[in-house]
Every structure is written in C-alpha cells, then in structure tokens.
A = this chain, B = another copy of it.
Amino acid sequence: MKLSYYMPTKVIMGSECIVNNKDVFQELGSKAMIVTGAKSAKVNGSEQDVVTALKAVGIEYILYDKVMSNPTIECAYEGARLAKENGVNFIISIGGGSPMDAGKVIALLACQDIKEENLFSGKYENKILPMVHIPTTAGTGSEVTPFAVLTNNKAQTKMSIGTPLIFPTIAFLDAKYTKELSKTITINTAIDALSHAIEGMISNKSSELTNGLAEQSIKTITECIPSLNIGNLSMEEREKLLYASMVAGVVIAHTKTTAVHAMGYSLTYYHDIDHGRANGLLLGEFMTFTAKSEPELIRRILNAMNLNTIEDFNQILDQLLGEKETLTDEEIESYSEKCKDTGNMLNCPVRPSAKDIKHIYKASMGK
C-alpha cells in the first residue's frame, strides 16, 4: 500500500458559518481583499456576509470584483497589483471556480514577482498571502485543492498552476449561497463534482483513502440526481451537493484529473461550453474506454451510483445534459492534438492514443 495525503485547508461548513466564525478572520491580518465576480456574490448574499463579519471584527477591506468566467492570466496580475498597492494581508475569494482560482494566483503574485512565462512552472518561493475561500457553487472543489486554472490566451487553452502553496487557509461552506443558481448551473456544477470523484477513482494516483472519499462523494451526488433533473433542490440537498463537491475536491487534490478534463478544456475554450458540462459530455465514453483495461474499477464506480452498466450511466447523464453540441472532424482533429500530451493524460491507467481521443470526442458529442 502506498499513499500520500496532504490537505491542510481548514473546512468549516454550516448555515451562517461565516458570521458565526468571524473571529477566524482576525488570525489572518488586518486588511483583506475580497476577490469575486461582478454579480453573483452580491445576489446570493455571500459578499454581504463577509463584509458583515469583517466589520464586526474591525478588519479593513478592499473589493476586486472583476473576475470573469474562466479568468485570464491578466486578471490575476491585475488583482495582485491591487493587493500590493493597498497592502492587504489576506485574500477572501468568493464564487465558483473562477474567483476561487483567480484568488489563489493573486495571493501568490501579491507576495512574489513571477514573470508570466514562469507562472505555470511550479517553481515558486515559499510565501503567499493567507486565503479564505467561499464556494457559491457546488462543483469545483477549488476551496480544498492546490490547483488554479487560468485561461492562457496565448496558448489558446486553460492551464493549471499546481502547488501546495495555494491550498486555501480556510474554506467556508454555506449552501444558502447556491440557492439562486439557475437549474443549468446547478446541474453543470454537480456534474463537475461527479466528474472529479469519478476521475479521481480512475486516476492512477488514487489510493484507498481517496477512493473511499470519492465513493462517498459519488453516492451523495447520486442521491440528488432526481431533484437535479426537475431543478428543485431542498436546502438539505444543496448541502449534500456542496459537501460532495468539497469531498471530490479533496480527492482530486491528491489524484488530479484525467483525460476528461484534458479534453474538456478545448470545448470550453473554443465553444464556450461550461466546464462541468464539458466534463459531463465526455465522462461516459471515457469510462467505456477505461472499462476495457479496468473493468473492476468501473464496476466499483457504477456500484457507488447503484447502477449496473455504463449505458445506465449514460442515460442519467444524457437526461441531465439535454441536447449535445456537435464538433466538426477538423475540430476533433485539432483538439485531440492539443490535449494528447498534457499532464492529465498521464494520470489515466491506460493512456489514450490520439485515435482513442478522437473516438471519445466523436462518440461523446451530438450527432
């Protein structure tokens, strides 16, 4: 048995957990920068809760609410410049994966000068601002991972920074912030979490510990699928999804992701297909591919969902995804080329060939 486990983020989950735990902000510094998008944190009340907590304990703050979906490298540098100019001591990131990932890179760049060409090198000095992460979608798990994905417009794809330095210090999980999400976003983010748990089990970096956590996450998400389909979730179900998303985040913090993520990035970059949806489109065919070499593993995943076959799995995903986008043969050719040598591919138990990848794209997308 071989395993390595490290997840130093303190996770605090519960109704009103931010205001109820306002004292923890004081341990992080006297001036914060809130990193978020333009709108959702205002609509769902999370920004206000943070402001209330900070004021109650006398912490100053500035607001950087310019993080777009699939945040760019430029956005991270801009945020870091603002953090430095204003002498902030810690970063509070609120939102889905985009602000949470941007917040991690801002915290890093606020403490050390890293040239853009070295940003994805993995080599950094051992200093970073403390970070509080507040997920307002139940999908990315970024609040407990050492990864930040940014859009690299020069390379025309998403690229990932991975370093234990960017594990958030604290993650606050309050499911009330997910209440106002649209049915589509709720489904896409839940599929993202499911994809993390499933890819985590498939990854050749998995261990008994991560598999146990992944099964727990898969089971919990599965319980919510009927309500996801009708777009009507109870608060208890929203908590389950937020919990499962965090647990799946702990899984990929150790296992990383696989071909599904590698292949999905082009769907997001060139077709603006939401990240979770992109994973969902590819997941069934990747499981079919993996079942050829790892039938037991795929059986274990299906068991966790109480399913018998990958066809059953595809039916469930098809219902959640609705009509699928199409790709031309040229697009498939180009995206396969782009992803076939990326790091995530190395995490697959059998590495898909260019031909395999093309087949997965073709069989996954709309006809």
Contacts and interface: CB of A to CB of B under 8 A. Distances in A.
Interface of A: 1-15, 175, 208-209, 212-213, 216, 220, 236, 239-240, 243, 247
Closest 5 A/B residue pairs (Cβ): A2-B14, A8-B8, A5-B11, A1-B239, A6-B10
A6 B11 contact: yes
A4 B8 contact: no
Given A1-B240, A212-B216, 12 more contacts: A1-B13, A1-B14, A1-B175, A2-B13, A2-B15, A3-B12, A3-B13, A4-B12, A4-B13, A5-B11, A6-B11, A208-B220
30 contacts: A1-B175, A1-B236, A1-B239, A1-B240, A2-B13, A2-B14, A2-B15, A3-B11, A3-B12, A3-B13, A3-B14, A3-B243, A4-B11, A4-B12, A4-B13, A5-B10, A6-B9, A6-B10, A6-B11, A7-B7, A8-B8, A208-B216, A208-B220, A208-B243, A209-B216, A209-B243, A209-B247, A212-B212, A212-B213, A212-B216
A33 B14 CA distance: 41
A356 B12 CA distance: 35
A146 B6 CA distance: 15
A125 to B, nearest CB: 13
Contacts of A216: 208-209, 212
Contacts of A14: 1-3
Report copies per complex.
2
A3 B15 CA distance: 10
Contacts of A15: 2
Contacts of A10: 4-6
A7 B5 CA distance: 10
A236 B208 CA distance: 13
A1 B243 contact: yes
Contacts of A8: 8
Nearest to A238: B1
Nearest to A171: B5
Nearest to A167: B8
A280 to B, nearest CB: 24
Nearest to A211: B216
Contacts of A212: 212-213, 216
A2 B172 CA distance: 11
A263 to B, nearest CB: 30
Nearest to A247: B209
A19 to B, nearest CB: 14
A5 to B, nearest CB: 4
A348 to B, nearest CB: 22
A142 to B, nearest CB: 16
Nearest to A213: B212
A14 B14 CA distance: 36
A204 to B, nearest CB: 15
Nearest to A207: B13
Contacts of A4: 10-13
